[in-house]
Amino acid sequence: MSKTQREIELKLEVFPADGETLAKPAVPEGFTSGRASTQTLQSIYFDTPDHALRRRKMSLRLRKTGKTWVQTLKIGTGVNGGLSSPIEIEHPVSGRSIDLTAISDAKAIRHLVDAVQGQALSEMFETVMRRTKRDLTAPDGSMIEFALDRGEIRSGDTCTSLSELELELKEGAEEHLLTAARAIAGTAPFRFSPCSKAERGYRLLSGETTASLEPLGAGKLGIHADETVEQVFKAVVWSCFEQIAQNRLVILTSEDPEGPHQFRIGLRRLRSAFRLFSKALQPDCWRALDAAARDLAVAAGTVRDLDVLAEEIVGPLEVDAPEGLSASSLLSHLSTLRKGARQELEQALRAESVNTFLFDLAIFAQGNAWLPDPAKAGSGTISRYAEAALNRQWRKVAEFGKRIAELDVPERHEMRKALKKLRYGCEFFASLYPKSRRKPFLNHLRQLQEVFGYLNDVAMAEKLLGLPVPKGPGAPSANQAAGFAIGWHRARAQSVWLEARKAWEEAATARRFWT
């Protein structure tokens, strides 16, 4: 007999090395836990040759547990913020072959027939997982099934590993999923799973990489003019969350300098969002998250600053250095410092406080506790708010711009930060305006940022004089290279500062696309 239900799951991707600890997790405060059980699950996924089910956000699988086979049809298989809530129709079958006649849900059959259009269904890929699960009961009686899956996704001769926490709400309040996940994850680094096991299988089938973690940039937010301020704020915060969480894992698994860079950008975007949307939030409700984001940005900043010193300040001078002066000793010294700084950052990012920050941010983003008046939720659309928010930030930039010829180095730094916040705001709201309308102003803004960014790098180059002095036979050469690098960039900065003043004059007279 088939069973139809709506499944609500929260999925977290974790490192395989943390599997043993997570198999015996701490019980969330106030919860009670049932006994754990472990079993092997083999799941085989079916589709048409042109992947019609995937396009319709459906999946059809057979799962073998022991000697028992169960067929499951899922409708609405997308994952958003680690959460999925598909309609699930399952029933037992006799063996490794699908039996569509067993599906008694008439509406589900119509969806399936309409998707397949008479094409044959065949095996696409399979997953083999070792699942450890237990039941959790919240203080209010809500029931959650916790499962740790460790195994592989296979397609032909290729495979990719996966370690994933799943928390399925069996009964009660959805809010308990995040509460339970926070306690269970503990210190284990994680990100909310970006896709289902089925989608991972399709990606493996098509040759896409699923195992490696790539640095994640901001991406585009496809917001619409009829969306409310609350809806857009949630989308913006969640975009920041995903960028922060994924790049944390990149830092922990690779030496890619783009990881710390994008991690810090995600934190800065978040802090800018709090301020741009502050008029729509309860006063100070975001301050604790903002402080945690600031501290993490400072920790990542040490690594990023050393990366910039090596790659953008010293590295390019190897070609321009005078005869007899080599930058190799200084670059070697910077490499040693970078390795030490990365190790410190990695240690900091494994702290439980980072998980606490991420879960608090997720709960903040998905909830409405920040609304100043819940009764007015959804009452205001984003268009008018975006115009006012960008105008406020523009005025902050313009205050510096009016005195640009007189700005000292600290004030130039503050103007650069104000420009960056304006740029983030423009990116948040970009899809509200035609590209042809926003492009000219954004080009001016981008040019200004590049100029001020370089000037900031030059100011940071002064740190070369404050670095620990290298020892050994290469020390004199390294110190000479540091002096040459600082002098070379100081001289260039004089002409670049003239470019900054000209770029500001052009930006100040350009049409602001949001007005």
Give the model confidence (pLDDT) of 69-86 as tens digits.
Answer: 999 999 998 888 788 888
Is residue 11 located within the same domain as residue 151? yes
pLDDT classification of 295: cutoffs 50, 70, 90: very high
Q: What is the arithmetic mean of pLDDT over 383-409?
A: 95
Residue pair 348/297 in contact (Cβ under 8 Å)? The answer is no
Residue 227: band (very low, low, confident or very high) from pLDDT cuts 50, 70, 90? very high
Query: Is 217 domain-assigned?
Result: no
Closest CA to 134 of 37, 269, 236, 8: 37
Tokens of 159: 């495979």
| 199-205 average pLDDT score | 94
Q: What is the CATH number of the domain that holds 200?
A: 2.40.320.10
Task: Answer whether residue 219 is part of any domain.
Answer: no
Rg of the Cα atoms in the chain: 27
Residues 183 and 253 placed together within one structural domain of the fold: no
The most confident of the ranges 105-114, 377-386, 484-493 is 105-114
Q: Do 200 and 45 contact (CB within 8 A), yes or no?
A: no
pLDDT tens sequence across 444-500: 999 999 999 998 888 877 776 666 666 666 567 777 888 888 888 888 888 898 888
- In this structure, the answer to whether residues 155 and 240 fall within a common structural domain is no
pLDDT recorded at residue 480 = 82
Averaged confidence pLDDT in the chain: 91
Q: Calculate mean pLDDT across residues 501-515.
A: 93
In a domain, 248, yes or no: yes
Q: What pLDDT score does 332 carry? A: 87
pTM: 0.89
454 within 8 A of 496, measured Cβ to Cβ: yes
Q: Are residues 140 and 233 in the same domain?
A: no
Instruction: Compute the residue count for the chain.
Output: 515
CATH code for the domain of 446:
1.40.20.10
The answer to whether 442 and 426 are in contact (CB under 8 A) is yes
Run of H or E including 352: helix 352-366
Report if residue 210 sits inside a domain. Answer: no
Contacts of residue 138, defined as CB under 8 A and 6 or more positions apart, other chains included, come to 28, 30, 31, 144, 172, 173, 176, 179, 180
Domain co-membership, 314 together with 462: yes
- Kindly state whether residues 119 and 245 are assigned to the same domain: no
Last residue of a domain, one of 169, 190, 205: 205
Q: Which long-range contacts (CB under 8 A, 24 or more apart) does 48-55 make?
A: 48/116, 48/117, 48/119, 48/120, 48/121, 48/122, 49/119, 49/120, 49/122, 50/119, 51/124, 51/202, 52/115, 52/116, 52/117, 52/119, 53/112, 53/115, 53/116, 54/198, 54/199, 54/202, 55/115
* pLDDT tier, 355 (very low <50, low <70, confident <90, very high otherwise): very high
Q: Is residue 514 part of a domain?
A: no
Q: What is the mean pLDDT of residues 421-433?
A: 96
Q: How far is CA 57 from CA 223, 252, 434, 452, in A?
A: 22, 32, 30, 46
Domain final position from 138, 171, 205:
205
Are 233 and 198 in the same domain? no
Per the domain annotation, does 221 fall within a domain? no
Q: Which helix (H) or strand (E) covers residue 185, if one does?
A: helix 176-185
pLDDT-derived band of residue 322, with 50, 70 and 90 as boundaries? confident
* Residues 441 and 315 both lie in one domain: yes
| Confidence at residue 369, expressed as pLDDT on a 0 to 100 scale | 85
Q: Which residues constitute the domain of residue 492?
A: 229-509
Helix (H) or strand (E) holding 128: strand 122-137
pLDDT band of 411, cuts 50, 70, 90: very high
Determine the pLDDT at residue 92: 94
Do the domain assignments include residue 318? yes
Judgement on whether residues 19 and 123 belong to the same structural domain of the protein: yes
Instruction: Verify that 59 and 113 share a domain, yes or no.
Output: yes
- Asked if residue 304 and residue 160 are part of one domain, the reply reads no
Q: Are residues 235 and 198 in the same domain?
A: no
Number of domains in the chain: 2
Alpha carbon 25 to its chain's center: 25
Is-contact 135 33, C-beta < 8 A? yes
User: In the predicted model, is pLDDT for residue 96 greater than 80?
Assistant: yes
CA-closest candidate to residue 424, choices 451, 442, 447? 442
273 touches 237 (CB < 8 A): yes
